[in-house]
Amino acid sequence: MALRKDNSVDFVVLGGGIAGMRAAIDLAQGGRVIILTKDDLYESNTEYAQGGIAAALSEDDEVTLHRHDTIQAGDGLCREEAVRVLVEEGPPQIQQLIDWGMRFDRNGTKLAFTREGAHSRSRVLHAHGDSTGSEILRALMAKARTLPNIQLRPHAFVTELIREDGKVCAVNYLESSAPSARTIHAGAVLLATGGLGHVYKETTNPSVACGDGVAMAYRAGALLSDMEFVQFHPTALFVKGAPRFLLSEALRGEGAYLRNLLLERFMPRYHEAAELAPRDVVARAITLEMQKTRAQFVYLDLTGLDADHVQKRFPRIFSTCMKHNIDITTDLVPIRPAAHYAMGGVATDLYGATSLPGLFAAGEVASTGVHGANRLASNSLLEGLVFGARAAAAMLNKQPAAAFPSPPSKPGAAAPAHAASSAPPPAAAPIEKAVELVRGILWEKVAIIRDGKTLTEAVTRLVGLALPEPLPQSRPAHEASNILTVGQLIARCALAREESRGAHYRSDFPLKNSSKPPRHSYVSRDSAPYFD
């Protein structure tokens, strides 16, 4: 499909992961669709998703149990209607995937399920052992390629959402083959840009996950929600000089233990579910054990499991660890937590509509409230599938912008982020140095265990960083700007939430705020963080 002469299409989808691809397939029924990806077509968090996709499809499971487990993991902050949509619409969406050629692992003719932390049933489907996301993306891509209305354009890095008369109507993007930015107009734009893990020094995310969609939406004036809730995966491979490769929670679901440097199994001291406790509990426990033993890591112990089963069930993990001379069937595996998933993002309703007309969001970039304060394991792929399809339906029906709570307007309300300051403007830092500083500040001061003093220091230092102006028209420069913007937002929202809830733990406010019902945070270009 070629673009029209006026360089316009009916729908622009930003991102080619599970949410973007699923939406594009349905959008193709209503017009011309272009999918823009900043890197290779398959380079997304979906491609690297190991553990699986959760759905109540087994004989001993029910959607009500899946709903209960999701809400329990969300620590009081899940939007229950969003959870209901997720668990009820998930099974038929997975069946649709299977009809399109998705190959889940099976035991004979029956689907194979495994259990992960905080699930009361074995309901996690997987493919090729530990390559579930890759197989889902293959099936979706194969389906999309059969639809003539869909154009795939890799290496198209979107830098800006364009508004006319308040409506998002176009995007600007960079291509390596073009000397200047290009523009595509559309009837509606879907943000499916994925995660933001690379605002942290330690992350399981691929390098493309810079929070681009969140930053673009914020600059365009969209409302964001729950930015302080960043999930840290408990078990990332810790090898100096190597990327923090994720070691699936399914390893613990199969019976692996966590041991500290003294080889003590410690999780039973922290939670009755031990290694299968919610991720926030496990990540904090590991952090505390590392502090107690003055170590940089703890161990994941699979040596009590059947070696042949481990190799067959987790082939990618086994082969990756072997590249670092670690045999997971016989060796203790050094691990530590790393930034993994954003529960917050661009605020949406149940159909992906944002606060801006013409702009929709689905997948990790969106904040539907389905995950609350702490995502239940393997619900992320399901969210992309379900809400990608829902966003497409809303875009086809030209659904208007969503309504959200307004910021406080009473005297003394906090000033917006861009308010003028009497301090001199910060000196611009070289782009690579600025990125390094942001990622280090977030990891040191806005990570698993937080407090007001270090969060204030983080906000001050992040606000004091600046990039060269005018910003060079390059992907690294715009990624740096997005990382800085998102880092500031996470730190500011974390400082504003004076309680501990789910993935947000404040040592100076270690308990939940029980004086008020659980509240979501909101922030925009024109308002400081507020709660409703």
By residue count, the chain amounts to: 532
Bridge partner list, 184: 171
Predicted confidence band at 326 (pLDDT cuts at 50, 70, 90)? very high
Tokens of 334: 């050094």
- What is the reported pLDDT for 528? 96
Report pLDDT digits (tens) over 447-475: 999 999 999 999 999 999 999 888 999 99
- % residues pLDDT > 70 (the chain): 95
The chain-wide mean pLDDT, for the chain, equals 93
Give yes or no for a contact between 245 and 236, defined as CB atoms under 8 angstroms apart. yes
Predicted confidence band at 425 (pLDDT cuts at 50, 70, 90)? low
Half-sphere exposure of 437 (CA within 13 A, CB side): 22
Predicted confidence band at 249 (pLDDT cuts at 50, 70, 90)? confident
Point out the catalytic residue in the list 279, 375, 450, 497.
279
3-class secondary-structure state, position 295: coil
Look at residue 149 and tell me whether its pLDDT is greater than 50.
Answer: yes
- What is the reported pLDDT for 354? 98
Q: Which of 70-79, 244-253, 337-346, 481-490 has the lowest mean pLDDT?
A: 244-253
Predicted confidence band at 496 (pLDDT cuts at 50, 70, 90)? very high
Look at residue 320 and tell me whether its pLDDT is greater than 70.
Answer: yes
Look at residue 231 and tell me whether its pLDDT is greater than 60.
Answer: yes
- What is the reported pLDDT for 174? 95
- What is the reported pLDDT for 410? 57
Report pLDDT digits (tens) over 330-357: 999 999 999 999 999 999 999 999 999 9
3-class secondary-structure state, position 176: coil
CA separation (Å) from 479 to 156, 175, 199, 203, 223? Answer: 13, 14, 10, 16, 21
Q: Compute the distance between CA of residue 447 and CA of residue 460 in angstroms, rounded to an integer.
A: 16
Give catalytic status of residue 279 as yes or no: yes
Say which DSSP state 122 is in: -
Q: Compute the distance between CA of residue 331 and CA of residue 456 in angstroms, rounded to an integer.
A: 41
Catalogue the long-range contacts made by 515-518 (C-beta closer than 8 Å, 24 or more residues apart).
518/76, 518/77
- What is the reported pLDDT for 29? 97
What string of H, E and C letters represents the secondary structure of 201-231? Answer: CCECCCCCCCCHHHHHHHHHCCCEECCCCEE
- What is the reported pLDDT for 409? 74
Report pLDDT digits (tens) over 78-109: 999 999 999 999 999 999 999 999 999 999 99
Q: Compute the distance between CA of residue 370 and CA of residue 389 in angstroms, rounded to an integer.
A: 15
Look at residue 179 and tell me whether its pLDDT is greater than 90.
Answer: no
Q: Is the peptide bond before 470 cis (omega within 30 degrees of 0)?
A: yes
Q: CATH for 236-338?
A: 3.90.700.10
Q: CATH for 431-531?
A: 1.20.58.100
Look at residue 281 and tell me whether its pLDDT is greater than 50.
Answer: yes
Report pLDDT digits (tens) over 373-421: 999 989 999 999 999 999 999 999 999 999 999 998 754 444 444 444 4
- What is the reported pLDDT for 413? 44
- What is the reported pLDDT for 424? 63
| Segments making up each domain of the chain, as ranges | 236-338, 431-531
Give yes or no for a contact between 188 and 161, defined as CB atoms under 8 angstroms apart. no
Amino acid identity for residue 2 in this structure: A
Q: Compute the distance between CA of residue 51 and CA of residue 353 in angstroms, rounded to an integer.
A: 29
Q: Compute the distance between CA of residue 434 and CA of residue 440 in angstroms, rounded to an integer.
A: 10
> Average pLDDT, stretch 107-133?
92
